[in-house]
């Protein structure tokens, strides 16, 4: 029979392995998290847990072990709860190929086509002269709309897997729109 210290050392190693399964799961990209990947992670987690339970039964059979902090701090219950939480996170993860498809954003329909903007700017050039402030504002606004349209049309929602990626794209769109708004209304006081 194993000594108390050996079994407790094994328990700590198994706890570390359980935590490592979760750490690796969090670090791996969504493209790696296939159904097979999830199955393997769950099998690895389950094997660690089964061995942890087996060692716990050994510890319960050692009479003088009951006074050890392993029992007094209810470490088994704590680890069991942690194992169940990790298992739930991994089980509930939807692999990329099984996620509901996200609609792809279509390029924005501009309020005015490039030819319309050119016609408008051409008219203003004729009426105002080539160096007017209005002409410069129209050129800036055309440039801002092109940048906005390019930003929106280059988004592929199928590649966005994490919340931070969505937030980043939304930030880009907001900043482009703010440039348009700022140019049209002037700076806000």
Spatial contact of 96 and 30, defined as CB atoms under 8 Å apart: yes
Residue 48 burial (10 A CB sphere; 0-12, 13-18, 19+): buried
Domain annotation covers residue 105? no
Q: Of the candidates 51, 70, 98, which is a domain's last residue?
A: 98
- Average pLDDT of the segment spanning 151-175: 80
pLDDT for residue 146: 80
How much of the chain exceeds pLDDT 70, in percent? 77
- Average pLDDT of the segment spanning 93-99: 69
Mean pLDDT lowest for which of 56-65, 76-85, 88-97, 125-134? 125-134
Among residues 82, 79, 93, 81, which one has the least CA distance to residue 41?
93
- Average pLDDT of the segment spanning 124-129: 48
pLDDT > 70? residue 162: yes
pLDDT > 80? residue 68: yes
Range(s) of the domain holding residue 18: 4-98
* Number of structural domains the chain divides into: 2
Global pTM? Answer: 0.51
CA 145 to chain centre: 29
Q: Of the candidates 66, 98, 130, which is a domain's last residue?
A: 98
d(CA 39, CA 24): 14
Residue indicated by tokens 């049209």:
184
């Amino acid at each position: 029979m194993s000594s108390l210290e050996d079994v407790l050392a094994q328990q700590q190693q198994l706890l570390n392995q359980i935590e490592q399964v979760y750490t690796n799961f969090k670090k791996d990209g969504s493209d790696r998290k296939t159904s097979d990947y999830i199955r393997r992670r769950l099998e690895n987690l389950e094997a660690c847990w089964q061995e942890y339970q087996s060692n716990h039964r050994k510890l319960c059979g050692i009479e003088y072990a009951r006074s050890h902090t392993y029992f007094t701090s209810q470490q088994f219950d704590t680890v069991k709860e942690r194992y169940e939480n990790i298992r739930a996170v991994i089980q509930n993860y939807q692999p990329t190929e099984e996620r509901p498809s996200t609609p792809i954003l279509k390029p924005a329909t501009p309020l005015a086509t490039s030819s319309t903007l050119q016609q408008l700017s051409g008219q203003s050039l004729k009426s105002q002269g080539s160096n007017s402030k209005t002409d410069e504002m129209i050129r800036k606004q055309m440039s801002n709309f092109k940048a906005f349209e390019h930003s929106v049309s280059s988004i592929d929602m199928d590649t966005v897997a994490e919340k931070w990626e969505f937030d980043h794209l939304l930030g880009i769109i907001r900043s482009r729109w703010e440039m348009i708004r700022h140019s049209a209304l002037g700076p806000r006081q």
